[in-house]
Every structure is written in structure tokens, then in C-alpha cells.
Amino acid sequence: MSNRTILITGGAGFIGSNFIPFFLEKHDTVSVVNLDKLTYAGNLGHLEEVKNNERYKFVQGDICDADLVRAIFKNEQISDVIHFAAESHVDNSIEGPETFIKTNINGTFTLLEGAREHWLDNSNSAKKGFEASRFHHISTDEVFGSLGESGFFDENTAYAPNSPYSASKASSDFLVRSYFHTYGLNVITTNCSNNYGPKQHDEKLIPTIIRKALKGEEIPIYGDGKNVRDWLYVQDHCLGIDLAFSKGKIGETYVIGGNNEHSNIFIAQKICTILDEVYPKKTGNYSEQITFVRDRLGHDFRYAIDATKIKTKLGWQSKWNFDSGLRETVSWYMNKYQQG
Ligand code: NAD
């Protein structure tokens, strides 16, 4: 991968801001243009380490703005796209689904059109210099719906999204797929399980548990806490994206997951145990703060991934085990919350 200029959308969000520094360091002839609207979820402070890198440029803007997207493709001669930008919080999608439809569906459509116009000619053949251009769409395992006690999602699992968030992501996956089958655009889609790690927004489960614990407040856990997610350290997701983007087969999808299935209550208790060890309370244990609250509407019971395809075809494997990843995460948020 040399001398390519890659449009990364949503690079100021949780996964994007972990990905960009890693990607620029790994590929020393690649340039990145980060297009991010800086919604409540975007934080440029998480990109301090690259802000002066001459191969990095930030553009504040909306992926739904077709004129802006077209101008970026043209002015920056964008060779590839890695598309992270999305409204990503399920609870917000239940409260107000409209922005999810706009950003996740219309925004993805706008980017696909930008790529099609810039990379393909009127007969849908690649323009000179754009033969190898790729559009990598970052998606979620939530598009597959909910599992019972057993079974795993893989690339052949039927879509069955249950929340406005997952339905909007499923729609975007279908649009991406259709641009491959209809126009021959070089697309790749990855569907990943729940990520955890530094730079995630305060609203999400793991930052909330750590923050509330440190503040001495109730730690809210939905329902009976038995909902299960397959947790992946964000840096392992970044490795998977890099592999799928560079070596994945055009038109294919890859599911990515850590084989770390844990219930929400297990996660809360595990974090409390780590905090008891590294920052003990004067009296009692952090787990005494755990409180069960009214369940999320339509709360999916279990997600779990069978990542055999990306492991065997692309050689991906996770580098972080759950204990080391969670300890690193707790330490990062302790530093953040104790300073602020
Ligand atoms: P995030 O909410 O932390 O970040 C989203 C970023 O997109 C923010 O910087 C925000 O400002 C930007 N953005 C939102 N709307 C925009 C718009 N209209 N135009 C331009 N920028 C906009 O999300 P995340 O957790 O980093 O997730 C990134 C991607 O990965 C999403 O597509 C999400 O569906 C997917 N994903 C996330 C997880 C997870 O566990 N976090 C797991 C699997 C897949």
C-alpha cells in the first residue's frame, strides 16, 4: 500500500481515533483525510498524537453533505475510503431514530456515490489510477439480531436487526453490497462485536461502570444483567480492519470478534474487582454500588462471533486477552476521570 490518500470518516470517534494513529504508523507512505462532523461523540483531543503529522488532515463536515464529499474526493484525489462515521449508541436510536437514518443510511449512500463518481467511468470501469481503490465499510454484529444461549454469528448469518441503530447499519451494509453487485465498486465490509478500550464515549457501558464506581454513585446495569456480548479490545479490531482493508477479498464480508463472551453483570463485577485492587475504597467494595435498572427496550440477549474466516483467510488473531485489555482500559479511564 503506497502513496494512497485514504478518506477516513468518523475518525474522531472511539474506534476511528484508535485506528488513525495505528494506521499512519503502520503504513508510512499513506495519507489520511479524516472527515468528521464532530457530533457529541467526536473528540479531536483523541487525535493529538497525529494532529501535526504531515500525512494527516482533518476536515470538519457531514458525510451527508454531497457537495462536500464530492469536493473532498476531487481535491484530495481520494484513492480509498474506510467508513467509520455513524450514530452508534443503541439507546439514542430508541429515543430519536431520525439522525441514525440520516447519518447511517443517507451518509453511507452519499459516500458510495462520491466513490462511484470519482473512481468509475460511465460504463462502470475503473478510471485510470483507481483500479485498486477500495471502500471499506465498518459495521456491527448487531445487524444479525439476537442469539439464544448457543450458536454464533458468521458471514452467512441472515440479517435480523432489532433496534433502529442496527436496522440503519443493516441498511448501510445492503447499500454497500449493492454498489459491488451493481457497479462493481471494490467494497469490503467488516461486522465486529462490541469493542472496548481507551477513547470510548462516556455514555457506553464500560466507561459508565468505571466513572460511576469512582464517583461513588450507583452503577446502573440493565434488567438482570445477563445479556451477553462478545468483547474485543479496540486495538484488535484495528488489526482486523487493516488486514481486511489491505488483503480482504473484494465484495466479501468478514466478521470480527474476540471469543470473549461475558454478561453485563460479569463485566461490572470484574471492573469492580480490578478497582478494589488498584484503588481500594476506604470502606466496602465497589460491587456494592451495582444497581439493576429497567431493561432497554427490545434488548438483544446475546451476540457472539465465529471469526474463523478472517483468522484462516487473512491470518487475523487477537493480541489482547480480556484481563490485560480490561486492566489497560480501567487504567486509561481512571486517569481521565480522576483528572476531570
Ligand atoms: P462513535 O460514536 O464513538 O464515533 C462516531 C464518529 O462519527 C464521531 O466522531 C462522530 O462525530 C462522527 N459522525 C457522526 N455522524 C457523522 C456525520 N453525519 N458526518 C461525519 N461524521 C459523523 O462510534 P464508534 O464506536 O467509534 O463506531 C465507529 C463505527 O464502528 C460505527 O460505524 C459503528 O457502527 C461501528 N462499530 C462499533 C462498535 C463498537 O463497539 N463501538 C462495534 C462494531 C462496529
Secondary structure letter of residue 105 according to DSSP: I
Residues with CB under 6 A from ligand 1: 9-10, 12-16, 35-39, 41-42, 62-64, 84-88, 103, 107, 138-140, 169, 192, 194-195, 201
pLDDT computed for residue 245 by the predictor? 98
Fold adopted by 5-198+233-259+300-320: Rossmann fold (3.40.50)
Three-state DSSP state, 340:
coil
Bridge partners (DSSP) of residue 255 are 191
pLDDT tens per residue, range 293-324? 998 888 888 999 999 999 999 999 999 999 99
Q: Using CA atoms, how far apart are residues 87 and 223, in angstroms rounded to an integer? A: 24
Residue from 181, 205, 3, 174 nearest 88 by CA: 205
- Dist. CA 284 → ligand 1 center (Å): 37
Domain boundaries, the chain: 5-198+233-259+300-320
Supply 242's cell numbers. Answer: 487493516
Catalytic residue among 56, 165, 179, 333: 165
The mean pLDDT value of the chain amounts to 96
pTM over 0.95: yes
pLDDT tens per residue, range 123-144? 999 999 999 999 999 999 999 9
